[in-house]
Chain A
Amino acid sequence: AQTVTQSQPEMSVQEAETVTLSCTYDTSESDYYLFWYKQPPSRQMILVIRQEAYKQQNATENRFSVNFQKAAKSFSLKISDSQLGDAAMYFCAYRSANTDKLIFGTGTRLQVFP
């Protein structure tokens, strides 16, 4: 069975600085997708970024980028120029290419200090 592990329950960063959130996963499949979701205090789940396992190039969305290391089964999220609005829970998620269900990690709470 696939699992997703987020080993950092909490992280903090100063405004305008850069922070990296870690995620590792376990799977025997070769074709899958990885996601980062943000959950602010409003509790809405917001898709931040997506990575296809077959793509070697790391995904980027504005200030958000990932470091995808397929062999190491690692998928970290880098937030550059952190803003107060980035404060939220961040969930890493895995989806097999054969199913649609998302498997989530336990989340990392990110605090942003002015």
Chain B
Amino acid sequence: DSGVTQTPKHLITATGQRVTLRCSPRSGDLSVYWYQQSLDQGLQFLIQYYNGEERAKGNILERFSAQQFPDLHSELNLSSLELGDSALYFCASSVRGEQFFGPGTRLTVL
């Protein structure tokens, strides 16, 4: 158990819908990262927050957004969902440069 929690574990929704994925980092970790793992794109970095502020952005679509709250939990919002958004979404938090991953949220878009 990495200490990073993610909810929900599974999410099934329809095209065009909007979903929110939630992540709680390990106690004391200020950084939260979001990654997407899909069959065609592999593991890709989406975005990083540090203590509530956006720190770095990767290949994140405009339809996706994230935020980190004062209690340091983070949410990834995915809107206007397409079939290709079906993937495993990981959250990670870090200390001293080592990133520890949560169990992921499996998103299926039908």
Contacts and interface: CB of A to CB of B under 8 A. Distances in A.
B97 interface: yes
Interface in A72-114: 91, 95, 99-104, 106-107
A101 B45 contact: yes
Most buried by A among B48, B97, B106: B97
Given A100-B55, A100-B56, A102-B99, A43 B45 contact: no
A47 interface: yes
Contacts of A64: none
Interface of A: 33, 35, 37, 42-47, 50, 91, 95, 99-104, 106-107
Given A44-B103, A95-B97, A100-B31, 18 more contacts: A33-B97, A35-B98, A42-B103, A44-B2, A44-B101, A45-B90, A47-B100, A50-B97, A91-B43, A100-B33, A100-B55, A100-B97, A101-B45, A101-B58, A102-B33, A102-B45, A106-B42, A107-B42
17 contacts: A33-B97, A42-B103, A43-B103, A43-B104, A44-B101, A45-B104, A47-B98, A47-B99, A50-B97, A100-B33, A100-B55, A101-B45, A101-B56, A102-B43, A104-B42, A104-B44, A107-B43
